[in-house]
């Protein structure tokens, strides 16, 4: 132990922590702090620090594997671990809660393995499931609440949706692959479609749910979730798919709304003046 | 404020004894609710429930309705030299308001600086200046939360040439300066004593008796030259021996087993917890004290220490 305690200052502590952290993140050149670690014959300073260096990575790799179990299964352990290690280097955690550490995986995959574009889509889907899983709790709107609105007021109807809702657009057969892996079955061959399909993710009874949406429903839901009134949603559907008329658009929009309500996706409404 | 039903011996009478607990893990949510096992209380990792909503908070609320709960954090970073994460403190207080835990703890360490988090419990140099710094920050947190917190001694794999005192002197100094409480992790004492070759009993003998509010027990992995604190195995006999030594110094203290990996069925952990109950019962019968916590203790959630 040092014999002159009065020489240790807060500046020393701050410098130690900055350098220790740089070492953990991987900036191995800045390791003057290693002289502040007691060296010993039994273990030695390098092995002692390597315990921390490895633990930092292993802990986050485990968190990423928990957030992306199907991505890991799809890529295999070796490739996933390599990707995860690169991810840790590129995106040092700024989160107090490890739950959020994996939020940049999609963009990481897009440039780290551009030859496997399906990986980024799987990451998007899994992350969206997790966002739905622990999104804020809200009470569902009941059918009778909407039924009480006079028909002439429907055009001014604006809906509020549960925070768990996520919409992802996928071009690969992510869903059959995800389902097969979830059932411990061999996944189907990878297939890329010529068009993107919108997938709706929401939460019911504490479980994340998902289903595909046609383009018209995706447009209607996007409009409704961004504050459009029922009238505006109907207008956006007019002229879509085989020249939908105003009357048809209204029927279709009402059907969509009934479906969202039945799924528990709608939490409240406002009638705009 | 309700009067705690059980008090620990040889300690400050305002401290309460919840009995014997386990760390709450997602794998055991349903077993706990369905079988109401012989556990007196549960410790939750605070960060796991600092989320907007959904299943984790749903189960936490249901379990909280049945058991006393204490909150244990891993990201407070009490020893950092950069400012607290205000969002973290706000979310922590929000969770405290929801859970009304018997108490709140975190680790005597630092986890990152400059807005980054290494998600590890990194060691501090044991100096007067560091103790003063930590104590000031404990004061900020205690003022913000309106109650005293517990600090836990961590397992460490490196120590500093700049340290001017032992770990237990350092801890004692902080407790005194900050008027905070201690979560004594007996396994961590064993692990660190092995890694740094000090006398584990001297550690236990060196911390103030009136600060120890809770004890952690856990398993670890011995690599020969050093031990890694993995929490993936049963508590080993030398750690149980240290626990006996701790009881002889602190009296009966709220005790729990932590298992974070290779998590077995709940029954297995309840059985392991019985060892702690038996050791405590033996100690109490030999020492002639009559203060064994009831196994069905229904201790108030509002045990104020502030």
- Determine whether the interchain pair B115/A94 forms a contact, defined as Cβ–Cβ distance below 8 Å: yes
- Determine whether the interchain pair A97/B226 forms a contact, defined as Cβ–Cβ distance below 8 Å: no
Higher-scoring residue by pLDDT: B296, B76: B76
pLDDT tens digits, A149-202: 888 899 999 999 999 999 999 999 999 999 999 999 999 999 999 999 999 999
Confidence of residue B7 (pLDDT cuts 50, 70, 90): very low
Q: Count up the domains in chain B and report the number.
A: 1
Q: Mean of the pLDDT values across residues A269-273?
A: 88
Cα–Cα distance between B228 and B129 in angstroms, integer? 29
By C-alpha distance, the chain B residue nearest A63 is B119
Cα–Cα distance between B72 and B84 in angstroms, integer? 17
Distances (CA, A) of B21 to A115, A131, B42, B271: 50, 31, 5, 12
pLDDT at site B291: 59
The answer to whether B216 and B153 have CB atoms below 8 angstroms apart is: no
User: What is the residue-averaged pLDDT of chain A?
Assistant: 92
Residue B152 lies in a domain: yes
pLDDT tens digits, B109-121: 999 999 999 999 9
Domains and CATH numbers, chain A: 136-273 (3.90.930.50)
pLDDT at site B231: 94
By C-alpha distance, the chain B residue nearest A10 is B129
**Which of A2, A20, A134 faces B56 most closely, judged by CB atoms?**
A134
Angstroms from A78 CA to nearest CA on chain B: 22
Above 70 in pLDDT, residue B305?
A: no
Residue B300 lies in a domain: no
Q: Among A9-13, A32-36, B32-36, B45-49, where is mean pLDDT lowest?
A: A32-36
Counting one residue from chain A and one from chain B, the pairs whose CB atoms sit within 8 A come to 151
| ipTM value | 0.90
pLDDT tens digits, B153-210: 999 999 999 999 999 999 999 999 999 999 999 999 999 999 999 999 999 999 999 9
Of residues B200, B139, B135, the one with CA closest to residue B174 = B135
By C-alpha distance, the chain B residue nearest A100 is B51
- Up-side HSE of residue A46: CA atoms within 13 Å toward CB? 2
Q: Among A150-159, A241-250, B22-31, B56-65, where is mean pLDDT lowest?
A: A241-250
3-state secondary structure A90-111: HCCCCCCCHHHCCCCHHHHHHH
| Angle, CA B199 vertex, CA B197 and CA B204 arms, to 5° | 135
- Determine whether the interchain pair B164/A137 forms a contact, defined as Cβ–Cβ distance below 8 Å: no
Residue B294 lies in a domain: no
Above 80 in pLDDT, residue A242?
A: no
Q: What are the φ/ψ torsions at residue A251 (nearest 5 degrees)?
A: -60, -45
**Which of A13, A48, A98 faces B157 most closely, judged by CB atoms?**
A48
**Which of A48, A56, A94 faces B120 most closely, judged by CB atoms?**
A56
- Determine whether the interchain pair B228/A51 forms a contact, defined as Cβ–Cβ distance below 8 Å: yes
Q: Which residues of B touch A52 (CB under 8 A)?
A: 120, 122, 157-158
Q: Mean of the pLDDT values across residues B86-98?
A: 97
Residue B175 lies in a domain: yes
pLDDT tens digits, A5-31: 457 899 999 999 999 999 999 876 666
The domain in which residue B224 lies consists of 20-287
pLDDT at site A246: 83
Residue B230 lies in a domain: yes
By C-alpha distance, the chain B residue nearest A1 is B161
The answer to whether A215 and A256 have CB atoms below 8 angstroms apart is: no
> What CATH number is given to the structural domain containing B221?
3.20.20.150
Tokens of A183: 């059932």
Above 90 in pLDDT, residue A247?
A: no
pLDDT tens digits, B271-303: 999 999 999 999 998 887 655 554 443 333 333
Residue B4 lies in a domain: no
Above 50 in pLDDT, residue A98?
A: yes
pLDDT tens digits, B218-257: 999 999 999 999 999 999 999 999 999 999 999 999 999 9
Residue B43 lies in a domain: yes
Q: Mean of the pLDDT values across residues A54-80?
A: 97
pLDDT at site A146: 85
pLDDT at site B45: 98
Above 70 in pLDDT, residue A116?
A: yes
Write down how long chain B is. Answer: 306
Percent of chain B with pLDDT over 70: 89
Above 70 in pLDDT, residue A4?
A: no
Cα–Cα distance between B18 and B68 in angstroms, integer? 8
Above 60 in pLDDT, residue B101?
A: yes
Cα–Cα distance between B128 and B239 in angstroms, integer? 30
Cα–Cα distance between B217 and B276 in angstroms, integer? 9
The set of residues, in sequence order, having a beta carbon less than 8 Å from that of A189 and lying 6+ positions away, is: none
């Amino acid at each position: 132990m040092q014999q002159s305690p009065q020489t240790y200052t807060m500046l020393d502590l701050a410098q130690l922590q900055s350098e220790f952290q740089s070492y953990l993140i991987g900036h191995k050149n800045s390791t003057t702090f290693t002289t502040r670690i007691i060296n010993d014959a039994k273990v030695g300073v390098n092995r002692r620090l390597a315990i921390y260096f490895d633990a930092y990575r292993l802990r986050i790799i485990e968190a990423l594997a928990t957030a992306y179990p199907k991505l890991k299964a799809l890529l295999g352990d070796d490739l996933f671990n390599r990707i995860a290690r690169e991810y840790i280097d590129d995106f040092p955690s700024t989160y107090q809660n490890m739950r959020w550490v994996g939020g940049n995986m999609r963009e990481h995959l897009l440039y780290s393995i551009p030859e496997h574009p399906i990986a980024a889509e799987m990451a998007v889907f899994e992350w969206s499931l997790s966002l739905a899983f622990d999104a804020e709790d809200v009470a569902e709107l009941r059918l009778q609440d909407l039924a009480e609105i006079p028909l002439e007021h429907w055009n001014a109807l604006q809906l509020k949706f549960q925070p768990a809702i996520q919409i992802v657009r996928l071009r690969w057969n992510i869903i059959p692959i995800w389902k097969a892996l979830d059932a411990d079955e061999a996944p189907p061959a990878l297939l890329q479609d010529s068009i993107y399909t919108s997938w709706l993710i929401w939460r019911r009874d504490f479980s994340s749910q998902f289903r595909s949406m046609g383009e018209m429903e995706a447009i209607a839901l996007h409009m409704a979730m961004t504050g459009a009134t029922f009238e505006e949603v109907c207008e956006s559907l007019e002229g879509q798919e085989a020249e939908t008329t105003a009357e048809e658009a209204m029927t279709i929009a009402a059907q969509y709304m009934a479906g969202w309500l039945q799924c528990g996706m709608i939490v409240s409404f406002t009638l705009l003046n | 404020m309700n009067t705690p039903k059980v008090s620990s011996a040889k300690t400050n009478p305002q401290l309460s004894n919840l009995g014997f607990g386990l760390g709450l893990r997602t794998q055991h949510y349903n077993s706990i609710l369905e079988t109401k096992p012989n556990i007196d209380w549960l410790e939750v990792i605070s960060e796991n429930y600092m989320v907007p909503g959904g299943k984790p908070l749903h189960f936490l609320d249901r379990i909280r309705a049945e058991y006393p709960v204490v909150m244990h954090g891993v990201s407070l970073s009490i020893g950092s030299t950069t400012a607290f994460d205000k969002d973290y403190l706000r979310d922590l207080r929000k969770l405290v308001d929801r859970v009304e835990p018997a108490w709140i703890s975190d680790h005597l360490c630092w986890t990152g600086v400059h807005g980054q988090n290494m998600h590890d419990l990194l060691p501090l140099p044991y100096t007067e200046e560091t103790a003063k710094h930590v104590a000031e920050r404990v004061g900020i947190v205690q003022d913000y939360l309106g109650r005293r917190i517990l600090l836990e001694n961590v397992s460490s794999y490196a120590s500093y040439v700049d340290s001017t005192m032992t770990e237990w002197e350092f801890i004692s100094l902080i407790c005194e300066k900050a008027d905070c409480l201690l979560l004594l992790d007996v396994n961590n004492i064993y692990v660190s004593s092995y890694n740094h070759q000090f006398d584990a009993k001297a550690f236990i003998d060196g911390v103030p008796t009136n600060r120890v509010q809770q004890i952690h027990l856990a398993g670890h992995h011995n690599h020969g030259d050093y031990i890694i604190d993995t929490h993936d195995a049963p508590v080993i006999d030398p750690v149980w021996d240290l626990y006996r030594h701790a009881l002889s110094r602190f009296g009966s203290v709220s005790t729990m087993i932590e298992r974070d990996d290779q998590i077995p069925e709940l029954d297995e952990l309840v059985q392991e917890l019985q060892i702690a109950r038996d050791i405590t019962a033996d100690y109490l019968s030999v020492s002639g004290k009559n203060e064994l916590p009831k196994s069905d203790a229904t201790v108030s959630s509002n045990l104020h220490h502030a």
